[in-house]
Amino acid sequence: MSFYVTTPIYYVNASPHIGHAYTTIAADILARHRRQRGENTFFLTGTDEHGSNIPRVAAEAGLGLQEFVDRNAAAFEDMTSRVNASNDFFVRTTDPRHGERVQEFLERIRERGEIYEGVYAGLYCTRCEAFYGEDELVDGLCPQHGIPPEHVEEKNYFFRLSAYRDPLLRLYEERPDFVLPRFRSNEARSFIERGLEDISVSRAGQHWGVPVPWDPGQIVYVWIDALVNYWSALAFARPDEDLRPRLWPDVRHLLAKDILKFHCVIWPALLLAAGLDVPKQLFVHGYLLMDERKMSKSLGNVIDPLDLIDVYGVDALRFYLFRVATFGQDGNISVDGLHERYERELGNDLGNLLSRTTAMVARYRDGRLRAAPVSKELQAAVGAVQTEAASRLDEFDLTGALELVWDLVRTLNRHVEQSAPWELARDGSRAGELDGVLYELADGLRAVAVALAAYVPDTSVRILEALGQPDSAPWEDVSAGRAVEADGIEAAPPLFPRVDAPTAAA
Ligand code: ME8
C-alpha cells in the first residue's frame, strides 16, 4: 500500500505565510509518520504560477513574468525547507513537463465528448480565479476577497460538469470517508445535490498559461491547470520512473475550506471525465485566524512563519500549530499563545523531563543506563499511544494523536514525582528500585521521542541522542522496554531555552 499526500500548490502572487506553512507541515507530519510505519510514501507540494493576476503583479514589481514567478516560487521552496518539510518533489506549473500533461489531460476529456465551445458571459474574481453568479456575491463583491469582480464575455471551452451530478453523488454515497471531516463531505454533497453548471475550462485573450492544444489562441483555465499537478507531477518527479502506476489513485489531498468546491466537486468530475480514478481521500481543514479573522494579505494580519522560526525554532512552530486548534476546525493563533505553550509544554513538560531524567542518570549512576523491567501501567500507557495515535493519524486527527502523546508526557512527569528518585538515591538498599525508575523514565521518554518524531523531528533526535539511543525511529518502537543500555549519559542542556517575551518577538 502506498501513501501519497499533497498540499495545494500555492499562488506565487503573494508571499508564503503561516497558513501555507500550516498545510505543508500537516502533510509533512502525515508523510513522516507513514515512513515510520515503513509505507511507500510520497509527499508533493509546489506552486501555482499561472493565472490572470500574474502579469499585473509582475509588472508592478518591475519584473518579467518568468523572472517574477521564479523569484516567488523560490520563496515558497525556501518556506518549505525552513519548516523542515520532507517533500519528495516540488512541482511548478510553469514547468513545461507539467504543461504537456495538462494538454494531454484536457485532450482525454475532449475525446470523450465532454468539452464543447460556448460563450461565457459573467463575473470573474481574479483573486479567486473563479467565476461567480450574481447571487453568490455579497453586496456586489467577491464573497472571499471583498473586491468587485470583473465582467467577462468571451468564447470559451466548457466542461460538462452538469453531467456529473449523479456520478458524484454515487461516489459520495459509496465512499462515506471520501471527504473528511464529515461535515465538509456534507457541504460538498449538498452543493452537488443543488445541481451543477458546466464550467469554463479556458480563457480567451490571455497568454500567461498553458495553450489549449486544439486552439492555441486560448489558454487553459488556471484552476484546471493547477488541479492536474497532483497527477502530472508523478510523471516527471523521478527521471527514470513514471510514478503514476504506483501511486495513483492512492492520493490524499490536504486543503483548506476555501478551495473545497474545486477539490471535492470539480476535480473528481474531471478525473471521471478523463477516465482516471478519483483520489482516495480529501481532508479539508479550517483556517488559522488572527483575532477571529482569516489571515490574508489584504487584511494585513499575516504572520510570517519564518519570523517565528527565527525566535522559537521550527519544532516549536510545528508543535504549536497542532496543539492550538483541532485539525479540521478553525483556530485562533497568536504569538502570545505560542510563547506560552513554548514555555509551559515544550520547556517544562518535555524539556524538564529530559533534563531531570538525564541529570539523575548522570548523577546517581555515573551516566549509565541499565536495563530493568517496566511496570504494567507504563507498558499499557506506551502501547496505547502506539495503536491509538496511529489510528488517529489514519483519520487525519493530527491534534488528537498529539494529545495522546502529551498524555504520556504528563504520565511520565507524574511518575517522577510519585517515585521520587532523589529519595531512593539516599537509601542504598533501594538501588534496584532506583535503577528501575530511571530506566522507566528514560525508556518512556524514548518512546515519546519516537512518537513525536513526525511532529518535531529535530527535537526527537536530540532526545534520543541525549538518552544514548539510536535515532532511527520506526513506529514499532513506540513500545515499552525497547531502550538499550547506554553509557556516558550527561545532564542534557535545555531542549527549549528561554526566549524573550513576545513583544520583542513579534
Ligand atoms: O488556493 N489558514 O492557492 P493559495 C489555513 N493556488 N490554511 C491556509 C490559510 C489560513 N489562514 N491561508 C492559506 C490556491 N492556507 C490555489 C490552489 S491547488 C490545485 C491550487 C492554505 O496560495 C490552505 O491550504 O491561495 C489553503 O487551501 C491554501 O493555503 C490556499 O493557497
Closest C-alpha to 320, from 357, 359, 295, 347: 347
The pLDDT of residue 152 is 87
- Which atom of ligand 1 lies nearest, measured to the CA of 227? 19
Per the annotation, the verdict on 415 as an active-site residue is no
Contact 287, 256 (CB under 8 A): yes
Q: Tell whether ligand 1 has an atom less than 6 A from the beta carbon of residue 279.
A: no
**How large a percentage of the chain has pLDDT more than 90?**
88
The answer to whether the bond into 497 is cis (omega within 30° of 0) is no
- Asked if 87 and 80 touch (Cβ cutoff 8 Å), the reply is yes
The mean pLDDT of 204-221, rounded to a whole number, is 95
- Cβ-Cβ contacts under 8 Å for 318 (sequence gap 6 or more): 25, 29, 83, 84, 455, 456
Position of cell 513500545? 479
Choice among 98, 128, 263, 264 that is catalytic: 128
Q: For 213, list phi and psi in degrees, rounded to 5.
A: -60, -35
Residue nearest to atom 13 of ligand 1 (CA): 19
Q: Is the CB of 333 under 6 A from ligand 1?
A: no
Does residue 295's CB lie within 6 angstroms of at least one atom of ligand 1? Answer: yes
Rounded to a whole number of angstroms, the CA Rg of the chain reads: 26
- Among 33, 98, 142, 415, the one annotated catalytic: 142
Q: What is the pLDDT of residue 505?
A: 40
Q: Which cell numbers in the block locate residue 463?
A: 532526545
CB-based contact 464:452 (threshold 8 Å): no
% residues pLDDT > 70 (the chain): 98
What's the average model confidence in pLDDT over 265-283? 98
Q: Is 355 exposed, middle or buried (0-12, 13-18, 19+ CB in 10 A)?
A: middle
CB 30 within 8 A of CB 67: no
**Do residues 273 and 159 make contact, with C-beta atoms less than 8 angstroms apart?**
yes
Burial class (CB in 10 A: 0-12, 13-18, 19+), 343: middle
How does pLDDT run across 353-383, given as a tens digit for each residue?
999 999 999 999 999 999 999 999 999 999 9
- Give the model confidence (pLDDT) of 483-496 as tens digits: 999 999 999 999 99
CB-side exposure of 355: number of CA atoms within 13 Å? 12
Q: Is the distance from the beta carbon of residue 23 to the nearest atom of ligand 1 less than 6 Å?
A: yes
Residue 280 catalytic? no
Alpha-carbon gap, residue 186 to 188, rounded angstroms: 5
Residue 263 has pLDDT above 90, yes or no: yes
**How many angstroms separate the CA atoms of 275 and 78, rounded?**
36
Beta carbon of 270 within 6 Å of any ligand 1 atom: no
Nearest residue to 320 via CA among 304, 331, 307: 331
Q: What is the pLDDT of residue 130?
A: 86
